């Protein structure tokens, strides 16, 4: 878990978290003229679900990522340590799409945050923990565990407890289509799903609640994990990424977590509920923000 890998990573930071060397101009001009890229042809060749809409908040490319990084440092970094788990607060970086696409380097981001965040040391430390330690932990898990997206990849205690409770009666059962369209009895969950559909992202705290409820409302842990990964990878700009796989595995299978008090459906996997969310933030405000608009 994070406790084990944190010390190992920290020892390596002086060697690897370094400044980028300057780029030297190549001394010789090219003998060939580069052909312009036919972007329409490129787009036509990509097999994607074109019914998924574009997002307006994220500008692609390194320049867009650097602009988002600058806004994070100037406007939101100071709030990160205390407000990052509040879905209503503008405190997170929003950088995961660019990091996932390789348009921003985690090394670059950390160096810039450390350089300009000297008056927000607690936030800098918290952000570095998430961007370096947690990210490396996810990469490490997916690299060494070939079952990183399967119940088979869970710890033995989690596989055992989920199997014992696999046939427990569910208070609600939803199909993948009902979940995908955000048509459940839980308006907070529906709001989180609508955020994913509309913005191509979901607040980190809500993603935990979202995935755990999929476990609670589907017929088996296997089905829950399949649906959670499908929705995350299909709609999220940072989908198909180790952080997403580990996030779903943590929520549904207890990866990088411990056993908790046993309860129906979840067994010893950590539980989250609506009442707990209400104690942490204004859920009504979040629900209103992503409510289905009616005439």
- pLDDT tens per residue across span 258-271: 999 999 999 999 99
Is the pLDDT reported for residue 7 higher than 80?
A: yes
CB 274 within 8 A of CB 291: no
Delimit the domains of the chain by residue range. 2-19+55-144, 151-289
Nearest Cα to Cα of residue 193 among 181, 177, 178: 181
Q: List residues bridging with 267 in a β-sheet.
A: 263
- Residue 295 pLDDT level (bands cut at 50, 70, 90): low
Q: Which two tokens stand for residue 116?
A: 């300009």
- pLDDT tens per residue across span 209-259: 999 999 999 999 999 999 999 999 999 999 999 999 999 999 999 999 999
The C-alpha angle 162, 165, 168, rounded to 5 degrees, equals: 140
Confirm or reject CATH 1.10.579.10 for domain 151-289, answering yes or no.
yes
Q: Classify domain 2-19+55-144 at the CATH topology level.
A: 1.25.40
Per the listing, tokens 């008090």 go with: 261
| Mean pLDDT estimate for the chain | 96
User: Would you state the pLDDT for residue 294?
Assistant: 62
pTM over 0.85: yes
């Amino acid at each position: 878990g994070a406790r084990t890998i944190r010390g190992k990573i920290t020892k390596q930071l002086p060697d690897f978290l370094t400044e980028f060397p300057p780029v030297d101009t190549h001394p010789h001009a090219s003998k060939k003229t580069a052909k312009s890229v036919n972007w329409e042809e490129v787009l036509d060749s990509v097999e994607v679900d074109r019914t998924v809409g574009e997002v307006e908040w994220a500008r692609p490319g390194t320049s867009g990522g650097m602009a988002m990084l600058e806004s994070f440092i100037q406007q939101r970094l100071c709030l990160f340590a205390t407000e990052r788990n509040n879905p209503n607060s503008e405190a997170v970086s929003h950088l995961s799409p660019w990091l996932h696409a390789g348009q921003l380097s985690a090394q670059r981001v950390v160096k810039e945050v450390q350089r300009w965040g000297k008056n927000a040391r607690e936030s800098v430390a918290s952000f570095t923990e998430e961007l370096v330690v947690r990210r490396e932990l996810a990469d490490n898990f997916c690299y060494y565990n070939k079952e990183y997206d399967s119940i088979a990849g869970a710890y033995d205690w989690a596989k055992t407890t989920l199997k014992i409770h696999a046939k427990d009666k569910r208070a609600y059962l939803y199909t993948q289509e009902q979940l995908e369209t955000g048509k459940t009895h839980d308006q907070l969950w529906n709001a989180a799903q609508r955020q994913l559909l509309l913005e191509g992202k979901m607040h980190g705290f809500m993603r935990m609640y979202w995935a755990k409820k999929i476990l609670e409302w589907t017929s088996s842990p296997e089905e829950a994990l399949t649906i959670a990964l499908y929705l995350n990878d299909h709609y999220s700009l940072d989908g198909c990424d180790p952080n997403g796989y580990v996030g779903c595995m943590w929520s549904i299978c207890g990866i990088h977590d411990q056993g908790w008090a046993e309860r129906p459906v979840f067994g010893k996997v950590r539980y989250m509920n609506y009442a707990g969310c209400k104690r942490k933030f204004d859920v009504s405000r979040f629900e209103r923000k992503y409510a289905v608009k009616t005439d």
